[in-house]
Amino acid sequence: MIAELGLAALWLAAALAALQLVSGALGLTPKGAALAGIVRPVAVVQGLLALTAFICLIYVFAVTDLSVKLVAMNSHSMKPLVFKIAGAWGNHEGSMLLWVTVMGMAGGVVALIERRLPERTMLATLAGQAFVSIGFYAFLLIASNPFERLSPTPVEGNGLNPLLQDLGLAFHPPTLYLGYVGLSVAFSFAIGALVTREVGPAFARAMRPWVLAAWIFLTAGIAAGSYWAYYELGWGGWWFWDPVENASLMPWLAATALLHSVSVLAARNALRAWTIMLGVVAFSMSMVGTFLVRSGILTSVHAFAVDPERGSFILVLLAIYIGGALTLFALRAGTVTEGERFALVSREGALVFNNVMLSAILGIVLFGTLYPLVAEAMGAKVSVGPPYFNPMGALFVVPMLVVLAVGPLLRWRNDRFGRVGGRLVIPAMLVAAGAMALLVMGGVSLLPFLGLVLAVGLAWASLLPLRERKLRRTPLAVWGMVMAHFGVAVSLFGMSSESAFSIEKLVAVNAGDTTEVGPWLVRLDGVEPVAGPNWTALEAQLKVRYKDADPVMVRPQSRSFWTPPQQTSESALLTRWNGQLYAVLGGEGEDGRWQLRLWWKPFVTLIWIGGLLIAFGGVLALIGRVKSDLRRIIARDRTADRRESQGR
């Protein structure tokens, strides 16, 4: 019954999206103006209906209603409740439903609160949002109905991929989805602005909170995903340039560029066409990423989400939406009037440089991700990995980081390097000192070397915009920027340190043996069987000691799940302020010795702490922007009231 309710809500939501599109489009014409009034309410109800459907899906998963095919395929009555609920979106149909739900809700919120834009642009925007939603509703209802019943009802479900049975899963994909789909709002705004040619600071201020929010979720989602891969896959790496990871990185790069260009548009009314294009590109990258993951056209460790036929369906959607939006862009952007001009050396100049670099990195990642396809079309099978991505990316990341240190210090419109040069003396000295120290130490390869010294200089330089400001009167948005840029330095330091200083050791040991890895002594006390709710495991008892500190027990496991049968390794991590010990239990050798894989990774945690700082900087900026927007709205209302009372 609940499943049918969900399905009904989904159909209704799809119908309302169609109504929203038609009334929004007709509302733009002189004859259909009467329809304009219903667009906003329809958008709100559509979002609520999608939410209803999603809640129904969560319910059938929570109670393990095995007569619903999706539940039977992906869940299991013996799973802990939190994983049952997470199972609702840990599969194709559920995650697509989450997608349309977020999209519908976002459209509803825009309809409810956004009053700054000209009403015509709003109509076009909401119609655009509905247009995109319809495709995804159709996809759900035609090709991947999440509420399909199964007859006869099986007595037990198939379980969930045990790799995914982890708290990380409960939050990582939905976080990314919020980011992907948040960009759909920017996309719709861009379409709306192209239709009515109204591009300016007001438009940028309306779009900015959405871009910021989506970008925050993407940042947090990528950081969480990277940490999940790091501890769950048990390979000791934190980024694999895997197509699925790239699929989340590409929208992030586009959103980062968009975030900066939309600020230029808001502050200086420049970069109009470019911002519109990035708005289109950012969401396009979300869809391209989803397509690459879902279609199975690229193989990856994330292959649990593969289905070629659905891939074709998404490709058709892509062709319609992205192709359509880019055509509209090509036809209209020429008529969007040119923005304000600025000098090469100026805040805008630095931001344009940042945009160009980010776009170049985006191009590199996209090309590297697609290259196996190109090669396959020519008859060769290749895979592209770190040897391509790392140096090619660095080629553009390094100049970008240098400009990142300088850019925030420059004035809008026109400035001289000479004016800010003095403040950069200390960071430059830090870079030089760091470089010398590393050269004396020796043995650090070029990329980690550059990363370490730049990180140190950038950490200092990123704080400089706070100087000569009264800290308590500094706008939150500036704090946010400083924190995010500082986070970049922190994360960069972690990445470089992990790559430069990690120590890896693979040993076969008997119980009682002690081995050394970096500053740690590791002793295997024994290996014991343990049982969990739906798995059993072999657990190594490791007594580890950091230098002269007291010994600590860590317990890496090799787990066997039985629904479905699969082995995973649960690494054990021990965090100290200056790094992490990472232990993985391998198999038992024929001589009764156990394989242990041990890493000492100095400052590795800074990678994700930096990521969180970046996201948190975004949160601060978002709060600051929304607050000042609210203040402006209230002030305007007051003035309007006053005028009214004076007029009478």
Partner 1 sequence: MSEETPTTTRKGGGWAIWLPLALFAAFVALVLIGLLRPADRNVESTLIGKPVPEFQLPPALPARPGLDSRDLANGKPHLVNIFASWCLPCRVEAPQLAALAEAGVPIEGISVRDTTEALQRFLDEHGDPFQRIGADDDGKVQLSLGSSGVPETYVIDGKGVIRYQHIGEIRPEHVPLILDKLREASR
> Is residue 339 close enough to count as binding partner 1 by CB under 8 A?
yes
Please name the amino acid found at residue 122.
M
How many C-beta atoms surround the C-beta of residue 549 within 10 A?
A: 11
* 90 membership: H or E segment, kind and range: none
CB of 211 to partner 1, least distance (A): 18
What size, in residues, is the chain? 648
Number of residues in contact with partner 1, rule: CB under 8 A?
Answer: 59
> Is residue 295 close enough to count as binding partner 1 by CB under 8 A?
yes
Nearer to partner 1, 391 or 417 (CB): 417
Nearer to partner 1, 418 or 529 (CB): 418
> Is residue 511 close enough to count as binding partner 1 by CB under 8 A?
no
Name which position in 5, 370, 609, 623 contacts partner 1 (CB under 8 A).
370
Name which position in 34, 81, 374, 630 contacts partner 1 (CB under 8 A).
374
> Is residue 364 close enough to count as binding partner 1 by CB under 8 A?
no
263 phi, psi to nearest 5 deg: -70, -40
User: Rounded CA gap, 166 and 164, in Å?
Assistant: 5
CB of 374 to partner 1, least distance (A): 6
Name which position in 67, 77, 158, 474 contacts partner 1 (CB under 8 A).
158
Contacts of 285 (CB under 8 A, 6+ apart): 250, 251, 253, 254, 362, 366
Name which position in 1, 31, 142, 338 contacts partner 1 (CB under 8 A).
338
Q: Which region, judged by CB under 8 A, interacts with partner 1, from 118-126, 136-144, 153-161, 481-489?
A: 153-161
User: Rounded CA gap, 537 and 6, in Å?
Assistant: 39
63 phi, psi to nearest 5 deg: -95, 5
Helix (H, G, I), strand (E, B) or coil at 514: strand
Name which position in 352, 358, 431, 500 contacts partner 1 (CB under 8 A).
352
Name which position in 247, 270, 527, 544 contacts partner 1 (CB under 8 A).
270
Which residues in the 378-417 window bind partner 1 by CB under 8 A? 381, 414-417
Q: Which region, judged by CB under 8 A, interacts with partner 1, from 12-20, 304-312, 455-463, 628-636?
A: 304-312
Phi-psi region of 234 (alpha: psi -120 to 50; beta: other; left: phi over 0): left
User: Rounded CA gap, 470 and 165, in Å?
Assistant: 48
Instruction: Identify the sign of the CA torsion 473, 474, 475, 476.
Output: negative
Nearer to partner 1, 239 or 321 (CB): 321
User: Rounded CA gap, 349 and 196, in Å?
Assistant: 28
CB of 158 to partner 1, least distance (A): 7
> Is residue 194 close enough to count as binding partner 1 by CB under 8 A?
no
CB of 414 to partner 1, least distance (A): 6
| Pairing outcome for strands 565-570 and 520-531 | unpaired
Please name the amino acid found at residue 407.
G
Burial 564-581 (b: 16+ CB within 10 A, else e): eeeebbbbbbbeeeebbb
> Is residue 62 close enough to count as binding partner 1 by CB under 8 A?
no
> Is residue 327 close enough to count as binding partner 1 by CB under 8 A?
yes
Instruction: Enter the tokens of residue 416.
Output: 């001289």
CB 42 within 8 A of CB 123: no
User: Rounded CA gap, 436 and 446, in Å?
Assistant: 14
Which residues in the 590-619 window bind partner 1 by CB under 8 A? none
Q: Which residue has the tokens 């199975």?
A: 296
Name which position in 1, 31, 142, 335 contacts partner 1 (CB under 8 A).
335
Nearer to partner 1, 98 or 362 (CB): 362
Name the residues that contact partner 1, by CB under 8 A. Answer: 150-152, 154-156, 158, 270-274, 277, 280-281, 284, 288, 291, 295, 297, 308, 311-312, 315, 318-319, 322-323, 326-327, 329-330, 333-336, 338-339, 341-345, 348-349, 352, 370, 373-374, 376-377, 381, 414-418, 564-565
